[in-house]
């Protein structure tokens, strides 16, 4: 029997258990310390990644805000460009090829004897306005003139419906007006100074390609003076 074994025989039993328990506690303390250090290290790494993600998110928000500002500025510049383009087109269209005085001359000179106009309304809108957006149109380096759809609403008096039909035929022969643009709207009986007359309304569309500079107006027909 060795000396150590002999000495252990003289030690109390609780002393040996105490040493074993202390070693066990020390081992668990080391394990706990390692786990705690690992958790702390993992938490620090996670916090660092969170901070990096927040920084990236902040930069993205700043870039997004800058892009929004650029987009808004681009939209404003585009709207201003469209406005200037439209203004340039309007300036280019000021030189009308169809003079209003020529239109009035044609309307009156083509009146048959016994037909009189009582009212005239001119309505105009940009050609294809509802179907196409505003675009920059340039021809030979200059803004293209805007094309307009112009319609005339005519009201008048005649003795018979045949006179109204004759007037419409005369208007259809005028090169200023669009082909098929003379449309009958209504006719009704009326009395003027105890005379039975026909009140009529017709619409006339002006040809956008017409040019009064190359059209010779017809001479006015001689009409009897209404009494």
Q: Mean pLDDT, the chain, as a whole number? A: 77
Confirm whether 203 is domain-assigned.
yes
Q: Are residues 86 and 106 in the same domain?
A: no
Q: What is the pLDDT of residue 96?
A: 58
Q: Are residues 37 and 79 in the same domain?
A: yes
pLDDT digits (tens, 9 = 90+) for 111-134: 999 899 999 888 766 665 544 444
**Which range has highest mean pLDDT (10-19, 95-104, 177-186)?**
177-186
Domain span including residue 3 = 1-92
* Residue 114: C-alpha distances to residues 19, 102, 156 (Å): 138, 22, 11
Q: Are residues 7 and 86 in the same domain?
A: yes
pLDDT higher at 131 or 220: 220
- The domain spanning residue 158 has which CATH number? 3.30.70.60
Q: Are residues 104 and 189 in the same domain?
A: yes
Say if CB 165 and CB 147 are below 8 A apart.
no
**Which range has highest mean pLDDT (93-102, 133-142, 174-183, 205-214)?**
174-183
Place of tokens 């700043």: 62
Confirm whether 165 is domain-assigned.
yes
Q: Are residues 120 and 63 in the same domain?
A: no
Calculate mean pLDDT across residues 7-11. 54
The β-bridge partners of 183 are 203
Specify the pTM. 0.48
Q: Are residues 75 and 104 in the same domain?
A: no
Confirm whether 43 is domain-assigned.
yes
Q: How far apart are CA 171 and CA 93, in angstroms?
A: 25
pLDDT digits (tens, 9 = 90+) for 49-93: 888 888 888 888 888 888 888 888 888 888 888 888 776 665 555
Confirm whether 222 is domain-assigned.
no
Calculate mean pLDDT across residues 23-42. 86
**Which of 38, 72, 92 finishes a domain?**
92
Rg of the chain's alpha carbons, rounded to an integer?
49
Task: Please return the burial class of 207, using the count of CB atoms within 10 Å of its CB with bins 0-12, 13-18 and 19+.
Answer: middle
Q: How far apart are CA 115 and CA 165, in angstroms?
A: 11
């Amino acid at each position: 029997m060795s000396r150590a074994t002999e000495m252990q025989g003289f030690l109390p039993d609780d002393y040996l258990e105490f040493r074993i328990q202390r070693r066990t506690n020390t081992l668990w303390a080391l394990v706990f310390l390692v786990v705690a250090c690992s958790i702390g290290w993992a938490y620090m790494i996670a916090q660092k990644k969170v901070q990096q993600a927040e920084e990236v998110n902040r930069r993205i928000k700043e870039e997004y805000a800058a892009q929004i500002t650029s987009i808004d500025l681009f939209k404003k510049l585009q709207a201003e460009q469209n406005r200037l383009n439209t203004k340039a087109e309007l300036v280019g269209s000021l030189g009308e090829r169809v003079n209003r005085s020529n239109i009035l001359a044609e309307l009156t000179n083509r009146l048959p004897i016994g037909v009189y106009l009582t009212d005239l309304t001119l309505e105009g809108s940009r050609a294809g306005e509802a179907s196409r957006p505003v675009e920059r149109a340039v021809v030979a380096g200059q803004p293209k003139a805007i094309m307009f759809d112009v319609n005339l609403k005519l009201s008048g008096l005649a003795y018979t419906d045949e006179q109204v039909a004759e007037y419409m035929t005369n208007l259809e022969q005028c090169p200023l007006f669009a082909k098929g643009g003379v449309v009958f709207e209504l006719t009704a009986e009326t009395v003027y100074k105890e005379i039975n007359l026909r009140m009529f309304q017709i619409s006339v569309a002006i040809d956008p390609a017409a040019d009064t500079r190359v059209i010779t107006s017809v001479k006015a027909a001689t009409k009897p003076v209404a009494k």
